[in-house]
Amino acid sequence: METPQIDNTRIAEASRGALSRDDIERREKVFSVVDLAVSYSGKVALQDVQLDVHRNTVTAFIGPSGCGKSTFIRCFNRMNDLVPGAKVEGTVLYHGADLYSDDVDPVEIRRRIGMVFQKPNPFPKSIYDNIAFGPRVLAMKGDLDERVEGALRQAALWDEVKGRLKDGALGLSGGQQQRLCIARALAVEPDVILMDEPASALDPIST
């Protein structure tokens, strides 16, 4: 069976949205992907990917299951570094700087370029502590309770959990857990949030 491949033409179409190509290309480039290839233990998952992502545009990658969408999105914050056997080749520029250069700290990259995973992955901690985790580690300024509430409101979860913030996050429904993970990503105010099918566990209204 032929391996499904990301179709660059369709990526470009999806990233174009309602704006004309000229409109988009006038915007600042946030990411530039050049000749990207990813393999797992020598087996090619992605190859020959070229793509620019411009500021303030919605860019979506679509394609059949297994075509490499999650693999691709993990290249934008070096999350594939943590996948055993994964090898990333080619160039990913972030505001013109090579994300894979030796002098780049992947932990700092992941703070600035946050991620919501395809499967919800709350920490086995309280709802409050899940959101407060990042701001505490980073010793972020400001009132922590307000930050937690703000993030939960942005993720449309506040009303459902405001009376049970000390309860365990694993007791939430799948869709609530996914919104919790979105709130957790928002709480550290990243520059970019990469979302891997974040609404797959949500109904249309929650989405």
Ligand X SMILES: Nc1ncnc2c1ncn2[C@@H]1O[C@H](COP(=O)(O)OP(=O)(O)OP(=O)(O)O)[C@@H](O)[C@H]1O
Positions touching Mg ion (CB under 5 A) are: 69-70, 118
- Contact flag: residue 83 with ligand X (CB under 6 A): yes
HEC assignment per residue over the chain: CCCCCCCHHHHHHHHHCCCCHHHHHHCCEEEEEEEEEEEECCEEEEEEEEEEEECCCCCCCCCCCCCCHHHHHHHHHCHHHHCCCEEEEEEEEECCEECCCCCCCHHHHHHHEEEECCCCCCCCCEHHHHHHHHHHHCCCCCCHHHHHHHHHHHCCCHHHHCCCCCCEHHHCCHHHHHHHHHHHHHHCCCCEEEECCCCCCCCCCCC
Out of 20, 58, 60, 66, name the contact with ligand X by CB under 6 A.
66
Of residues 45-64, those binding ligand X (CB under 6 A): 45, 63
- Contact flag: residue 178 with ligand X (CB under 6 A): no
Q: Could you tell me if 52 and 32 are in contact, meaning their C-beta atoms sit under 8 angstroms apart?
A: yes
Out of 5, 118, 126, 154, name the contact with ligand X by CB under 6 A.
118
CB of residue 120 to ligand X, shortest distance in Å: 14
Nearer to Mg ion, 61 or 94 (CB): 61
Nearer to ligand X, 73 or 127 (CB): 73
Rounded alpha-carbon distances, angstroms, from residue 58 to 24, 120, 139: 10, 22, 31
- Contact flag: residue 174 with ligand X (CB under 6 A): no
CB of residue 197 to Mg ion, shortest distance in Å: 6
Nearer to ligand X, 54 or 74 (CB): 74
| Residues binding ligand X: number (CB under 6 A) | 13
Nearer to ligand X, 84 or 96 (CB): 84
- Contact flag: residue 198 with ligand X (CB under 6 A): no
- Contact flag: residue 82 with ligand X (CB under 6 A): no
Chain residues in the site for ligand X (CB under 6 A): 40, 45, 63, 65-71, 83, 85, 118
